[in-house]
Every structure is written in C-alpha cells, then in structure tokens.
Amino acid sequence: MQYYILTKNAKFTQVLSWLGMHNVAYSVHLNRTRFVLDTHSRLHTEFMLLYSDAVDAVDPNADLVTGLIA
C-alpha cells in the first residue's frame, strides 16, 4: 500500500529516518513524501504501530491536486 507524510508533519524526520534504516524506498515531493509498504509484512505492522497517526494512505482514485475523488 502506498502512503504519504506531509513535509510539515512533526514526525516527518522520524519517519524518513525509520524508512532509511529499514531500506524502504521513498519519493520526496515538495509538500509530501510517498513510500510503499507491503501490508502483509512485519515492517508494515511495526511502522503502523509507531507512525499511523502521522501518515495517510494514498487513495488511487483521488486527485491530490484538486482533492476530488474520481
């Protein structure tokens, strides 16, 4: 599943540090950083226990520019 964290989130640097320590690739954008975690993995469980309050799942039907659902 693809997730994102907003750049201004208080846990932004912690999340990027965790992703780096666990060799999870991420893509940095101006306002957010995106990454993918396998929902059936131990890493996903660990990550969500630590940071579920700081990230959101990317809705594949949402236009993140306009905020509209297709």
Per-residue model confidence as pLDDT tens digits over 8-48: 999 999 999 999 999 999 999 999 999 999 999 999 999 99
The helix/strand/coil state of 12 is: helix
Rounded to two decimals, what is the model's pTM? 0.84
Regarding predicted confidence, which is higher, 50 or 60?
A: 50
Regarding predicted confidence, which is higher, 68 or 18?
A: 18
4 alpha carbon, distance to own chain's centre: 3
The helix/strand/coil state of 65 is: coil
Mean pLDDT of 41-66: 88
CA distance 30 to 52: 21
